[in-house]
Each structure stands twice: as C-alpha cells, then as structure tokens.
C-alpha cells in the first residue's frame, strides 16, 4: 500500500497581546504588583481606595470653600449697603445697638423735659440781612439791639449774614414765637435810618427777612 505523505502542520500565528493603557493599567499594577498577575493584593487595593477618597474629599472641600467665599462677599456688600443707606444700627452688635437706642431715648427725654420747663425749643434763626460788607451791618445790629432783638454777624462764603442770636420755632407756623419775632423785625426794621456814609438798604429795609433752620 502506498504511504500517504503526512500533511505538514499549520504554523500557529501568535498575535502580540493588545496593550491596555490608561488608569485601569496603573491601578492593576498598583493592586497586583509591578507586573500584572492574577494575584490580588488587598493592602494595595486599600491604599488605592484611600487615595481616591482623599482626592475626592479635596475636590469637595475646594468647592465648599469657593461657595463660602462667594457668600461672604455677598454678605459684606449687603452690610456696606446697609450702612450707606442709614441702617447702621441693624449691622451693629446687639449691645452697641442697645446703647445707641438708650442714648437716643435719653436725649429725647431731656428735650421733652426742657420743653416742659422753657417751652418748645426753636431750631430756627431769622436772617435779617445778607450783605457783602461787614461795616454796613454794624449799625443795623445796634439798631435792633435797642429794641431788644439780639443779633450776630456771621461770614458765610463771600457774604455776611445778620442773624438773630436767639432761636425760634419755624416762622412759617402762624402764632409761633418765630412768626411773631419775624413780624416784629419787619415792623421795627421799616423805620431804620442808616448813619451818613452807610448803606440805607432801601426805603423799606429788612422786609425780606426770613427764617432759616439750623438743625
């Protein structure tokens, strides 16, 4: 019988293993050792998990800190706005706020007591004349003093103001002491006769006198 020649065996083609890249390879190297093997290392796995937890915690803390800083910035701007708009008492500590309230109440009580003794306290003066020369107002000051009206000359800017020294209630309120004083000043002032060489202030002087609030 004829021998059948043996067929040569087909050579097996061995393909190189596919290389895996990325975090999974690094983790496997850390967990299983330098080379990748099937042996599991629990200690290395715990270390990796702890490392991941620390990284995540750091990210979370950073986000919370940023959020807190933003909130503090908004709160600070609100406090500044509160102060600028007059809400100082609300932004102060409780004890300081109580002290301010007590001082304010004491001042109001003192004012009420003074009004009960001396009558309503005025917060107006009467402006008799405004002029550019102090010299011409001196005779006017003496003229009103003879009628019991005390006056003072004050320079404000480029002008001199002849003001009543006494304070009155608003002259706009009829029957108030300021209203009566203003009428008296106009009545007396109409008869003013300036010395020779001084300003006469017109034929009917001081009829433009008016009340001015000082506080």
Model pLDDT for residues 158-213, shown as the tens digit of each residue: 999 999 999 999 999 999 999 999 999 999 999 999 999 999 999 999 999 999 99
The CA distance from 110 to 68, in Å, is: 47
Collapsing DSSP to helix, strand or coil, 84 comes out as helix
Query: Highest mean pLDDT range out of 94-108, 115-129, 135-149?
Result: 135-149
Radius of gyration of the chain (CA): 48
Mean pLDDT, the chain, whole residue set: 76
CA distances from 70 to 56, 76, 113, 158, 207 (A): 22, 10, 51, 52, 63
The CA distance from 134 to 138, in Å, is: 7
Overall fold of domain 124-213 = Alpha-Beta Plaits (3.30.70)
pTM of the model: 0.46
Helices in 41-93 by DSSP H: which ranges? 42-84, 88-91
Residue 152 contacts residue 165 (beta carbons within 8 Å): yes
């Amino acid at each position: 019988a004829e021998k059948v020649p043996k067929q040569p065996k087909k050579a097996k083609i061995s393909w190189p293993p596919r290389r895996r890249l990325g975090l999974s390879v690094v983790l496997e190297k850390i967990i299983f050792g330098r080379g990748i093997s099937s042996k599991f290392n629990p200690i290395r796995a715990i270390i990796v998990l702890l490392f991941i937890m620390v990284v995540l915690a750091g990210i979370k803390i950073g986000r919370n800190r940023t959020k807190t800083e933003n909130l503090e910035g908004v709160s600070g701007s609100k406090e500044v706005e509160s102060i600028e708009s007059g809400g100082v008492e609300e932004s102060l500590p409780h004890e300081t706020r109580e002290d301010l309230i007590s001082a304010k109440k004491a001042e109001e009580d003192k004012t009420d007591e003074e009004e009960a003794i001396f009558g309503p306290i005025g917060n107006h003066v009467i402006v008799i004349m405004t002029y550019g020369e102090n010299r011409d107002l001196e005779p006017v000051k003496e003229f009103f003093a003879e009628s019991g009206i005390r006056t003072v000359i004050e320079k404000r800017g480029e002008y001199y103001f002849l003001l009543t020294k006494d304070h009155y209630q608003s002259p706009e309120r009829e029957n108030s002491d300021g209203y009566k004083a203003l009428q008296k000043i106009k009545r007396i002032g109409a008869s003013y006769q300036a010395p020779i060489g001084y300003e006469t202030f017109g034929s009917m002087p001081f009829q433009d006198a008016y009340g001015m609030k000082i506080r």
